[in-house]
Amino acid sequence: MRIVVDVMGGDHGCEVVIEGVKIALHACNKISGLCLVGDEAQIRAAMTEARLQDDRVKIVHATEVLTMEDKPLDVLRKKKDCSMARALELVKQGQGDAMISRGNTGGLMAAATVKLRPLENVERPAIATVLPTPQKYFLLLDAGANAECRPLHLAQFAIMGSVYSREILGNANPRVGILSNGKEEMKGNDLTREAVELCRQLDLNFLGYVEGHDLFEDQVDVVVSDGFIGNIVLKTCESMGKAIRVMLETELTRNPLRKFGAALAYGGLRSIKRRMNADNYGGAPLLGLNGTVIKAHGSARALAIKNAIRVGTETIQHSINRLITQEIARAKERLATGAKHGFRGRTCSITAVGSYVPEKILTNADLERMVDTSDEWITTRTGIKQRRIAAANEHTSHMAAKAALRAMAKGGISPEQIDLIIVATITPDMPFPATACLVQQQIGAYRAAAFDIEAACSGFIYALEIGQQFIMSRTYDTVLVIGAEKLSAIVDWTDRNTCVLFGDGSGAAILQSRPKAHGLLTACMGADGNKADLLSMPGGGCRCPATADSVSARLHFLRMEGKETFKNAVNAMYTAAQESLRRCELCISRIKCVIPHQANQRIIEAVGERLGAKPEQVFVNLDRYGNTSAASVAIALDEAVESGRIQRGDLILLMVFGAGLTWGAAVIEW
């Protein structure tokens, strides 16, 4: 490999650079050529003094030097023949594989970015600095190249740092964190909060936020920040190291007894000094450039130059730029998927599901003894064979709480973690208080807010979308969504057209933001109040309060216009499903599992056929439970997961239709 060294610049003249080059050439036989760029007369004089005679070395004369006082852009505008510019030009022309410089940091970054250009898809290069901890090291980036950053820049710094830490520092699965003023999600600023959400979508061992006191406790391997904060951290660490050294020297030489103790501890003190000596770490790579550039400290001496060359050779040997390009490309694809699905920030996933159905089974044969019907008539027209019926003392809140507890157990969620409870139901225990409040009491989630929504069979998807907004806005971290119904309480058991259709049950889902997952990709909801009379319960509200007349007129039971409901159900669910797929730029063949509202087998088949879904894609449990309204897709989702039909990473389509008229669909990455 061929190394190019900018000999000029820095605090100590070119003599220390030549001495460092000599040591590096002696230590590494893999260097096939080394080009020294700068004032030829000074370089030759320094080589003579250092007795450097090596056939691998050649000199390229440069007439100018970019000093520490020069502005960064002077390297491109006023001092085009400075040693830094000439050295970078050699790398650009393919005459060198890596370039080392201890010159003006801003000038080096500006010239390297313009001359070498960033790697494909890399937005901004970053300076990566290795800092020692009591046991090992951590990598800090950006350490000063980019004072102002966007969230994507920090996400890319995290990727580049992870690659470097893995390949050069030997961390098999580097722990990556974004530096902030606290670990809580509400800490940080808009930049760090958005960057955290991007990093959670990437294939990183991402910790989230890390604080200043985490850096030297071996809790993180890659620390990400913008260049402004990163440079402050770096300079503070350097200053603190010098201050500690001065304090030790002062205190350990204050009297003979301390001097004697220092002599006894000499070996340990020397080891600490060696670990804290920046010269042993050489230089900081400028990651993300289409070429290898190593920035040595301005005060670097021979040992630091030698190690900066070592860092350059290791970076080349491990193909860091090729690996960064591959990882950035994968990240771009993953983030593009998230953006395509409409994500702007924090994602929301279903992290656990649970369901409950009553013990009592009411079969079609049982119904034959109650109304003028038959198993053959019910099965051919609906696909239902049986349904579950709650006991007289088993209410909607009881079933909802049981489903919630099962979901919480599966997800390892304690009652104290739940921030919000949303119950979708048209059969509340009572008009008020909300059934969600009763559930809160039964599961012991006393710190949670709670409310109900009423969207009939569409309620669960409506509740999912509402819960998602609370998660994505960071208002809450854990939302419990429940669909629960005791429809047996509002079914007219003398009406053979409706009593055969419905059953009781509940399903629950835990919503949280899950790292590296997109979760709920989109939800599409709709309503048409012009068709409210197709499916309704006229009595019981302020329009028709309970009276002897309303009860005798059976106004407190469910009523349905069957044919019109069927037609509207097919059209509405198909339209909602198509819109959800369109938003995600997905075709139905990409969906692993389609879970429609379990109302009628003919409706399910008609919608599936219009969507082009294969029968094996569609999950159906209608035959065992009938129509459980808001609980329908929730119960089916839980059973699909439990049966293995749904695996991590699968795409799922939920679609519903209910009274109102209401409808909705959702696409979920499991």
126 membership: H or E segment, kind and range: strand 126-127
Structure tokens at 604: 């399910």
DSSP classification of residue 373: -
Question: Who contacts 170 (Cβ-Cβ below 8 Å, separation ≥6)?
Answer: none
| Measured distance CA(67)–CA(79) in Å, rounded | 10
Q: How far apart are CA 365 and CA 135, in angstroms?
A: 73
- The one catalytic residue in 584, 597, 600, 621 is 597
Mark whether 457 is an active-site residue.
Answer: yes
Helix (H) or strand (E) holding 37: strand 33-38
Residue 542 is a catalytic residue: no
Beta strands in 491-545, from DSSP E residues, in sequence order: 504-512, 520-527, 535-536
Identify the active-site residue in 237, 457, 499, 524. 457
Amino acid at 425: T
Among 444, 508, 514, CA closest to 477: 514
Q: How many CA atoms lie within 13 A of 469 on its CB side?
A: 7
Decide: helix, strand or coil at residue 484: strand
DSSP 502: B
Active site residue 231: no
* CA neighbor of 139 nearest in space, from 130, 148, 152, 151: 130
- Element at 550 (helix H, strand E): helix 548-552
Gap between the Cα atoms of 294 and 5, Å rounded: 10
**Letter for the amino acid at 605?**
E
Kindly report the number of other CB atoms within 10 A of residue 541's CB atom.
10
H runs (alpha helix) in 65-212: 74-77, 83-92, 105-116, 151-167, 190-200
Question: CA torsion angle for 635, 639, 645, 648 (degrees, to 10)?
Answer: 80
- State the catalytic residue, choosing from 146, 171, 307, 627: 627
CA-based radius of gyration for the chain: 34
| Encoded tokens for 220 | 């993180």
Strand 593-596 and strand 651-658: the pairing is parallel
The residue count of the chain comes to: 670
CB atoms within 10 A of CB 494: 12
- Say which amino acid occupies 568: N
Number of H helices, E strands in the chain: 22, 25
Structure tokens at 137: 């090291």
Pairing of strands 126-127, 129-132: unpaired
Q: Active-site residue numbers?
A: 457, 597, 627
